[in-house]
Amino acid sequence: MLGLRHLPLLALSFAPARCELPGDLRPEPLQEAAALKLPAAALRLPLHADSRWVLARVQIGEREVLAAYDTGLSVRALIDEALCEELELPLERGLWSRDGGGGRGYKRGTTLPKLRWGAFEAESIRALRGDLSFLRADTGEAVQLVLGLPLLGRRTFQLDAAAKELRVYDDAPLPEVGKAGVLAMRRSGGVPFCPIRVGDEHLRLLLDSGFDGALALPDRLRSTLPLRGEAQRTGSVRTVLGPGGAIHTGRLDLDLEFAGYRFPAPGVQFLEGYRHAVLGRRSLDVLIWTIDPVNGRVHFGLPVANAKSASAGILGVLPFSKEEPASPDER
């Protein structure tokens, strides 16, 4: 979950201490949303979400492992070093020099002989190797594999944690930006961003299902945005590259309006050293993400139980500024 200069890989995790303000989002549609029409899904891949991760049972060859699905990972897969040794997977040095040549620990790669996730199967999946020993599900089980955004190729997909599935669509472009609640999205450094406004600040919002939180903002805004009380330090950034900056958690004393939703006084996390905002795994408790990577479009809908209608989505578009930087060369 950490973007570093020369390292487009934006993975993996935050490990903040548990706190009284969980960074919650409570979406209230500003108006009735237009329907998002998609064809029947070509694949329905099983998943489940615990308090931190979007998880799936997958098979590497004949071995079943617990994997996390991370839209903030810019490569197809990242596998734990210890599991590589156990499965006797080959070490392929320099394989990822383009994606990770400037990053410590990312010149080590391997090839997964066969990957199976529900009805999805692929052979000879290139993967990075890294130390994932700190990744644990709520049950204490080790998460030994992380699956990234490029795994599904150029197909539109819908991440629905409430329904416990990831739906994959063939030839299903989202409507044009501004129609049916569709927003502009850019893939910068291989990962998806869309625009957001917080107060007077225009920010890029990273869509990252591998972020342990709902909404995070750059720490510099902690001193400029109105808060209900003082934000408390609740942990620090933790990634496969090692520790990062501090995390402070608090509640905004304002309503955030984003693309047709009002989020009353949302709980947020402030990330030291970051210049972009992050929408993370806990937002999937109240939102369904639909991402069209080919056309650069994204849609957020409400789960049926939370919606005014079964086809609920969101409306409104905030266009990108022409001055928006082209690459997330920052944390």
pLDDT at 240: 63
Residues 24 and 115 in one domain: no
Residue 28 included in any domain: yes
Residues 200 and 292 in one domain: yes
Query: What average pLDDT does the structure give for the chain?
Result: 82
Cis peptide before 12 (omega within 30 of 0): yes
CA–CA separation, 54 and 143 (whole Å) = 11
Residues 50 and 115 in one domain: yes
CA–CA separation, 252 and 185 (whole Å) = 25
Q: Would you say the C-alpha torsion 96, 8, 212, 26 has a positive or negative sign?
A: negative
User: pLDDT tens-digit profile of 21-32?
Assistant: 455 889 998 877
Residue 315 included in any domain: no
More confident residue, 35 or 47: 47
pLDDT at 117: 98
Residue 159 included in any domain: no
User: pLDDT tens-digit profile of 231-268?
Assistant: 999 888 876 666 778 999 999 999 998 877 899 999 99
User: pLDDT tens-digit profile of 197-238?
Assistant: 998 899 999 999 998 889 999 999 999 999 999 999 988 887
Residues 182 and 273 in one domain: yes
Residue 5 included in any domain: no
CA–CA separation, 308 and 319 (whole Å) = 27
Counted domains in the chain: 2
Provide the whole-model pTM: 0.84
Residues 25 and 52 in one domain: no
Q: Are 206 and 278 within 8 A, CB to CB?
A: yes
CATH number at residue 127: 2.40.70.10
Query: By residue range, what is the domain housing residue 294?
Result: 19-37+169-306
